[in-house]
Amino acid sequence: MKTEIISKNTLLEHWLGHRNLTRQTIDRFPEEELFNFKVEGMRPFAAMVKELLGIAVPGLQEIVDNKSGELDENLNYSTKAQLLQAWDEATPQIIELFGKIPEERFTEEFNLFGQYKSPIIHSILYFIDNEIHHRGQGYVYLRLLGIEPPFFWERE
Amino acid sequence: MKTEIISKNTLLEHWLGHRNLTRQTIDRFPEEELFNFKVEGMRPFAAMVKELLGIAVPGLQEIVDNKSGELDENLNYSTKAQLLQAWDEATPQIIELFGKIPEERFTEEFNLFGQYKSPIIHSILYFIDNEIHHRGQGYVYLRLLGIEPPFFWERE
């Protein structure tokens, strides 16, 4: 027991703020380019978003159930509206599942997706960092398309 | 006093791992492109790295001194070797300054650079998130240059 530098709820709020910004980023893409525009050697932004969706709720569910499963990022969303709807539906699930992880478990090891064994806090920071990483890439895609990305600090 | 979800030292190690990856990313750029290649509406990767250098140590120094200063990201580095040296010199300073912030202060408000008033933990998460964001952009620059970026999970 120590003075905590960040509470569980503050970390969740921080992630949800990032998710708001990612949602705005998805929304800036024209439908066609969201699914088809890409830089050589990379994926379209929609594929990155499917990866994020395949990680967040399923990853938290595994942690809550304390039972490893398989990573599936090939989700069947083919329109921007479907992708945004999936994004919005994930939000209350993230809030509920995150809330079910007791503080004591964050420092415990868990074998995420049966292949990434690390303390739970590392997995959760990975979820957030990976989202920021891919969204940063989405910003460059938008710029290449001549579209202004949302402000990085707009999290509401 | 609660069971902490992440210790101060784990957060520092997490950041240092990201800094290692950012260093590798800088190093992948050819010198000319590091300072001159950019996408319309954006800056060259070297300018983003200067921003990161202008934030990390000066930001932590302000927090430790509990005294707001001014943000200066126009640093005079004009070669890749200078940039990498500055990056490496910042590392022990980050370790030292971060270590001087008592756990109790992370939830306190501080007016970073005289303009960003928020709990200190938010400022520190911003330092890390902003680095991940710009590094993700650097990855796309590398791909546009036909260069493979480092693996995202390589933090050593």
> Which residue in chain A has the smallest CA separation from B149?
A41
Give the pLDDT confidence of B38-76 residue by residue, as tens digits: 999 999 999 999 999 999 999 999 999 999 999 988 889
The pLDDT value recorded for residue B41 is 97
CA-closest candidate to residue A150, choices B122, A13, A85, A139: A139
For testing contact with chain B, the best of A1, A2, A6, A122 (most B CBs within 10 A): A6
pTM of the model: 0.97
A4, closest residue in chain B (CA to CA): B4
Q: DSSP assignment, residue A105? A: G
**Interchain contact, B140 vs A42, CB within 8 Å:** yes
Residues of A in contact with B143 (CB under 8 A): 39-42
By CB atoms closer than 10 A (0-12, 13-18, 19+), residue A138 is buried
Tens digits of residue pLDDT in A59-118 = 999 999 999 999 988 889 999 999 999 999 999 999 999 999 999 999 999 999 999 999
ipTM of the complex: 0.96
Nearest Cβ partner for B3 among A1, A39, A133: A1
With an 8 Å Cβ cutoff, are A41 and B143 in contact?
yes
For B97-136, the pLDDT digits (tens) are 999 999 999 999 999 999 999 999 999 999 999 999 999 9
- Would you state the pLDDT for residue A103? 96
Confidence of residue B25 (pLDDT cuts 50, 70, 90): very high
Cβ-based contacts of A107 with chain B (< 8 Å): 5-6
* pLDDT band at residue A1 using 50, 70 and 90 as cut-offs: low
The pLDDT assigned to A74 comes to 83
Residues of B in contact with A155 (CB under 8 A): none
Pairwise CA distance, residues A56 & B90, whole Å: 33
